[in-house]
């Protein structure tokens, strides 16, 4: 006889959990939209947390999969049938630190408290960022636990503190740290495509290298983590080869059929541009696409992720090369009329 035979009700509960829904925060964001579309394609039940049903409709999310609300205020949610959580919600840029603190840190804490109150056995996949770890020349720093991470930006600090919230929650969790993500629905890398299309590319400071990951590959890594959560681990994600800043623009050029003139600006000049952009954005009441916080990350140098742990623990290896990924992204931008 087995040591701990299950009762019929326990077996039923386990079966219903296996068939339950996956709660996705940040479902109308860049990565969240791609993840939900993958769930739709595979007929995986999910619950998309959204603040705007209009935006959800624009993103192609069916009404019967929506949970209206804000992850910073989760107390009234009905989580019946939820079997796992993928936390993608948060701010990427903000006017000042208290906004990052309120959403990325305190909001994550309230979400965790709500999940723990509802069912402490629900696995929690936290999609963080390489910015939480800080710059890394050879990938070693990307493996640093949250207690030893050295973020250089306010955004990175908020993601590092959100990781600490997850670790302290007592929930079964896996933390994923992707490098720069690009692909359909992304508006940040879109700015680079627009530059290159005009025949110009700007880089700043000494040459630096980055770990990128195409969004479909990131979605695959999330699915691997859902299938077999790796309890308590922090896992960096990126294509197995980093790319230099100049090569990044040149590869985009190949994808769009343009040979851009790449200009390297002095770092101090890029700092002046960031300050000016931030002042102008504040006058309009919004955060700048490239402000001083993003300048701090730029000045950090290399941002390389170590992909080895993802291969070891998740059996995951990003498969989309740069030229292929940029070509797919370019085609999508054109089809949607974004460029």
Name the band, by pLDDT with cuts 50, 70 and 90, for residue 230. confident
State the chain's maximal CA–CA distance in angstroms. 73
Average pLDDT value for residue range 228-234: 88
Q: Which of 32-36, 215-219, 288-292 has the lowest mean pLDDT?
A: 288-292
Domains of the chain: 11-182+212-239+304-319 (3.40.50.720)
Q: Is the pLDDT of residue 231 over 50?
A: yes
Mean pLDDT of 292-298: 84
10 has a pLDDT exceeding 60? no
Rounded to a whole number, what is the distance in angstroms from the first to the last CA of the chain?
65
pLDDT of amino acid 272? 87
Percent of the chain clearing pLDDT 90 (strictly above): 73
Query: Which of the given ranges, 19-28, 224-233, 312-321, has the highest pLDDT on average?
Result: 312-321
Please say if the pLDDT value at position 14 is more than 70.
Answer: no
Q: Is the pLDDT of residue 273 over 70?
A: yes
- Confidence band, pLDDT 50/70/90 cuts, at residue 274: confident
Name the residue with tokens 């790319």: 243
Dump pLDDT digits (tens) for 143-187: 999 999 999 999 999 999 999 999 999 999 999 999 999 999 999
Q: Is the pLDDT of residue 15 over 50?
A: no
What integer best gives the mean pLDDT of the chain? Answer: 90
Pick the closest to residue 274 from 291, 258, 298, 287 (CA basis): 291
Can you tell me the mean pLDDT for 54-72?
90
Question: Which residues 6+ apart lie within 8 Å of 292 measured at CB?
Answer: 271, 274, 275, 278
3-state secondary structure 37-82: HHHHHHCCCEEEEECCHHHHHHCCCCHHHEEECCCCCCCCCCCCCE
State residue 19's pLDDT score. Answer: 67
Q: Which residue has the higher pLDDT, 214 or 299?
A: 214
Asked whether 193 and 6 are in contact (CB, 8 A), the reply is no
What tokens appear for 49 in the block? 């947390």
91-144 pLDDT tens trace: 998 888 999 999 999 999 999 999 999 999 999 999 999 999 999 999 999 999
In this prediction, residue 89 has a pLDDT band, given cuts at 50, 70 and 90, of: very high
- Give the mean model confidence (pLDDT) for residues 309-334: 96
- Rounded to two decimals, the pTM is 0.90
Residue 327's pLDDT is: 97
What pLDDT is stored for residue 271 in this prediction? 82
176 vs 15, residue with greater confidence: 176
Average pLDDT over residues 51-80: 87
Whole-number pLDDT of residue 9: 39
């Amino acid at each position: 006889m087995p040591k701990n035979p299950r009762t019929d009700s326990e077996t039923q509960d386990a079966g219903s959990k296996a068939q339950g829904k996956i709660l996705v925060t940040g479902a109308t964001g860049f990565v969240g939209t791609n993840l939900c579309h993958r769930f739709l394609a595979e007929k995986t039940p999910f619950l998309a947390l959204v603040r705007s049903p209009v935006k959800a409709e624009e993103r192609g999310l069916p009404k019967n999969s929506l949970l209206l609300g804000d992850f910073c205020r989760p107390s009234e949610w009905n989580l019946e049938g939820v079997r796992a959580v993928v936390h993608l919600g948060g701010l990427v840029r903000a006017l000042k630190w208290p906004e990052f603190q309120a959403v990325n840190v305190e909001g994550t804490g309230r979400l965790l408290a709500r999940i723990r109150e509802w069912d402490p056995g629900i696995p929690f996949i936290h999609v963080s960022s390489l910015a939480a770890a800080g710059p890394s020349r050879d990938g070693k720093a990307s493996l640093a636990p949250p207690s030893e991470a050295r973020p250089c930006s306010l955004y990175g600090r908020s993601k590092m503190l959100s990781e600490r919230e997850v670790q302290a929650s007592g929930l079964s969790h896996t933390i994923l740290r992707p490098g720069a993500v690009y692909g359909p629905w992304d508006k940040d890398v879109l700015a680079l495509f627009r530059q290159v299309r005009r025949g110009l590319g700007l880089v700043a400071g000494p040459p630096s290298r980055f770990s990128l990951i195409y969004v479909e590959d990131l979605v695959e890594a999330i699915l691997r983590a859902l299938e077999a959560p790796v309890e308590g681990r922090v896992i960096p994600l990126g294509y197995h080869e980093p790319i230099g800043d100049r090569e990044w623009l040149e590869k985009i050029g190949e994808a769009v059929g343009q040979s851009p003139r790449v200009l390297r600006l002095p770092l101090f000049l890029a700092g002046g541009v960031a300050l000016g952009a931030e002042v102008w954005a504040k006058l309009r009441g919004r955060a700048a696409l490239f402000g001083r916080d993003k300048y701090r990350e730029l000045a950090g140098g290399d941002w390389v992720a170590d992909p080895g742990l993802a291969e070891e623990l998740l059996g995951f290896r990003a498969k989309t090369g740069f030229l292929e990924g940029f070509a797919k992204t370019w085609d999508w931008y054109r089809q949607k009329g974004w460029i």
